[in-house]
Every structure is written in structure tokens, then in C-alpha cells.
Amino acid sequence: MNRFEQLFVDHPIVLGDGAMGTMLQRLGLEPGGAPELLNVEAPDTIRAVHQGYVDAGSMIITTNSFGGNRFRLALHNLQARVAELNRAAAQLAREVAGDRVAVAGSIGPSGELLEPLGTLSFDEARDAFAEQAAALVEGGVDVLLIETMSALEEVKAAIEGVRQAVGDAVPIAVTMTFDTRGHTMMGVSPVQALRTIYEWGIRYIGSNCGNGPEETIAAMTQMAEHKPEDVILIAQSNAGIPRWKSGGEIVYDGTPEVMAEYAQRVRDLGVRYIGACCGSTPDHIRAMARVLGVASPV
């Protein structure tokens, strides 16, 4: 049993971390820049973000690799550096996490539409996810977190890619984003997601991102009502709804107090892996840790 799995044996509630992109933007990442490049060009910045979450109480921290697949990196002409950037992302998180905090390797969407809606074949997607997963595991992650997905076909490609690359070396967790009238952008309901992903052998399933706590709570309510006993639910909501301020700054209306209330509500639904997503900071995680009565195992 690895660090990630052991956390759920030792603790009734496991606290995740918050946003990476939000923090990097505060620290100077230019709009449209490649966050993953900072893993090698500004490693101290990435370490500082991870450390902020660990100090706030996070028991799992997530690598700076959300857009680390070959298709998204190609937007920055970095497609030849997939292994380097993902390995570095995992190594940086591992350094901060030490032996007791777990590291989740973030695998986000490809950024492309799969056939027949788009031009990306299933095999191409699977191979891209396999490439990313191999580097993250080599760098030392404890779980691979396939997150912010909208299409079940892409989830399947990611799961198969992980298994192709690393077998069962680490557990797999999956979260989808329910932001369109209670469904994903591709029309998947929370219950459909839960049942289908469970059939594919995944036991850590949930919701992340979205338009704020209320949508996440609604999705988790449905999943909680239908989940098999051996599923551990995950909730990682955005810190409210993003709004534009003068000067082009994006702010979120979910205060630490709002996110603390969200954490209590999803805990009461039976969610055991609770974190946050876009717009959140260590202040949000600290407030969540306080109301949940959890403490980092370090």
C-alpha cells in the first residue's frame, strides 16, 4: 500500500491542495505562458507553491503538470520535452512532500476533441497520456489524477494510457467537470460518470473545477447516492465563480469562509478526498483544514 492509499486507511478525511495556476499567475506567470516550463526554469517558485499548501494542511499535493501532454505543450513548441517537464514536476512535488504527504500526478485533458467530433484518434490520445504518465511515475508520484475531464472517451484513453505505461504501479483517480446544467460539457451526468468509471476499475472518483461550490455539491450529492461501497469520492471545487476586474485581472468570489462551508457540506455527504481548484490559495485550504479538523501528517 503506497502513501496515497495509506492516507485513507489512517484518516477519515484527506485534505487535498488548491490551485496551481492561480498561484503561479500571482507569482508572475504571463497570460498564455506554459506553467510546466517553470518546473525547469523556476523550480523554486513551484516548490514555494507546494510548500504553501503543505503548511496550510494539505495531505496530498498535485504536480504542476496539468497541461503536460504533447498536444497542449505543442502550443508552446514544447512537445519534445514532455518527459523532462513532467518528470521535473513530480520531482519538485516529491521534494516538498517528503515521505508522508502524498503526491498526485496531474493529467489534464489533451486539449483536442476525439474522433468523430474532432481529429484526434483514440490511439493517439492513449499514447500521449501514456507518455505523460510514465514520466510522472518516474519522478515519484503516488497516484495519477486524471482530472477536469468532459468526455468519457477521453477518460478511457487516459486510463488505458496510464495502464499501458505503468501498469498498476500507482493507483488512478479520475475527476470530471460538471459545469453545464449539472452535466459535463459533453453531456455526461455525475451518475453516468461514476458508474462508467467504476466499471473501468477505478475506485477514486469525483468532481473538480466547475462554476463553484454549489455545482460541485450537487454533483457529489448524486454520486454519494449511487456510489458502490468501495469507492472513495473526490471533490475539488473552484473557489466560486471567476469575474473580470478592471485591468484584466480574474478574481474568484469564493472566500476562505465560503470554501470552508463547502468542505463541511461535501464531508457530510461522505466525500473523503476534499480539496479545491481554480481561484483557491493556501488561505482557502487552511480554512478548510480548520473546519474539517484535519492536520497534515507531517
Exposed, middle or buried: residue 119 (CB in 10 Å: 0-12, 13-18, 19+)?
Answer: exposed
Residue partners of 118: CB distance under 8 A and separation at least 6: 112
Write out the H or E segment, with its range, that includes residue 56.
helix 43-56
Asked if residue 12 has a cis previous peptide bond (ω within 30° of 0), the answer is: no
CATH number assigned to the domain with residue range 3-292, chosen from the 4 options 3.20.20.330, 3.40.50.2300, 3.10.20.30, 3.40.50.620: 3.20.20.330
| CA pair distance 78, 70, nearest whole angstrom | 8
Q: How many CB atoms lie within 10 A of CB 71?
A: 17
In this predicted structure, what is the pLDDT of residue 240?
86
pLDDT in tens, the chain (298 residues): 799 999 999 999 999 999 999 999 989 898 889 999 999 999 999 999 999 999 999 999 999 999 999 999 999 999 999 999 999 999 999 999 999 899 999 999 999 999 999 999 999 999 999 999 999 999 999 999 999 999 999 999 999 999 999 999 999 999 999 988 999 999 999 999 999 999 999 999 999 999 899 999 999 999 999 999 999 999 999 998 877 776 666 778 899 999 999 999 999 999 999 999 999 999 999 999 999 998 755 5
Cβ atoms of 281 and 18 closer than 8 Å? yes
| 3-state secondary structure at position 59 | coil
In this predicted structure, what is the pLDDT of residue 247?
64
In this predicted structure, what is the pLDDT of residue 296?
57
For residue 213, which of 187, 185, 239 has the smallest C-alpha distance? 239
Q: Provide the residue ranges of all domains of the chain, joining segments of one domain with +.
A: 3-292
